[in-house]
Amino acid sequence: MALKGLLVPHLLPESCYDEFFLRLNFLHIPCLKILISKGLGYAIIATSIMVKLPQIVKIVGAQSAEGLSFHSLLLELLATTGTMVYSVANSFPFSSWGEALFLMLQTAAIAFLVQYFKGHTDRAVAFLVVYVGVVALLLSSLTPMAVVTALQASNVPAIVVGKLLQAATNYWNGHTGQLSAVTALLLLLGAIVRIFTSIQETGDPLMALTYVITATCNGILVGQLLYYWDVPPARRKKD
C-alpha cells in the first residue's frame, strides 16, 4: 500500500502501522509516543533548514556582525558537529538529529561572515577550508569511535562556555547587537522538544543531557534579548 510505504519505517515501525491501521487501535500509547516523537523530529529538522537564516539576513543587511562572538560561534559549531558525527557513527535515526546538520552548515556560514565583515577575508576563507577538512576526517573510518564519543561528551562544556561567552558579550556591550531574536527563540524551542525526542528515539543519556543544557543556555540568551529589547545597537554600556 502507498500509505504503508510512506509511513513505514519513516514515521512508524511496521508493528505500529499494524496496530493503527489493521487493529484500529489508535490509542496504543507506545506507538503514539513513537509517532509524536518522529513527527516532532521531522518538524524540527524542517524548521532548522531556515532557523539561522534570519541571523544571516540580519548580518548581511547591516553589513556588520557587531555583537556576535566568533569564539562563541566556534564552540557552538563544535557542539553541532559533535552531535552530527556521533549520531552518524551510532546510526541513530535521522529524525533524532537531522537539524544538527543544518545548524552546523548555517553556523559555519555565520562564523565566516563574522570574520568577513571584520575585514579578515583571508581568515574567513582559511576557517572554511580547515573546517571542511576536519569534518571530512571525523566522518571517515580513520577516526576511532572513542574520539567521536569524546567529541560528543565535550558538547556540554562547549555549549555552556559558548553561550556564556555570547551572554557576556551582550552584557558588556549593553545590548545584543545583531543577535536575531527569531533565531534565538527557535533554537530554544527546538532544544526543549529535542529533550523528549532524544530520549524516545535514541535512549542515549548523553544526547538528552546535551539538549537540556542547550535549552537552558538558549533560555539565557532569549532572556537577554527581552531585557535589552529597546536598547539601540549604537548605545554602549557605561560604567
Peptide bond between residue 13 and the one before it cis (omega within 30 degrees of 0): no
Q: In this predicted model, what pLDDT tens digit does every residue of 120-144 receive, in sequence order?
A: 999 999 999 999 999 999 999 999 9
Q: So what's the pLDDT on residue 17? A: 86
- Between 113 and 37, the more confident residue is 113
Q: Which residue's entry shows cell 529597546?
A: 230
What are the C-alpha distances in Å from 191 to residues 156, 208, 218, 221? 13, 10, 8, 13
Q: How confident is the model at residue 234 (pLDDT cuts 50, 70, 90)?
A: low
114 has a pLDDT exceeding 60: yes
Q: How confident is the model at residue 239 (pLDDT cuts 50, 70, 90)?
A: very low
* Predicted TM-score of the model (pTM): 0.74
Tell me how far apart the alpha carbons of residues 80 and 83 are, in angstroms, rounded to a whole number.
Answer: 5
Q: How confident is the model at residue 238 (pLDDT cuts 50, 70, 90)?
A: very low
Closest C-alpha to 47, from 213, 217, 199, 189:
189
5 has a pLDDT exceeding 80: no
- Between 51 and 114, the more confident residue is 114
Q: What angle do CA 210, 211, 216 make, to 5 degrees?
A: 105
Sign of CA dihedral 196, 202, 208, 210: negative
Closest C-alpha to 235, from 63, 116, 67, 68:
67
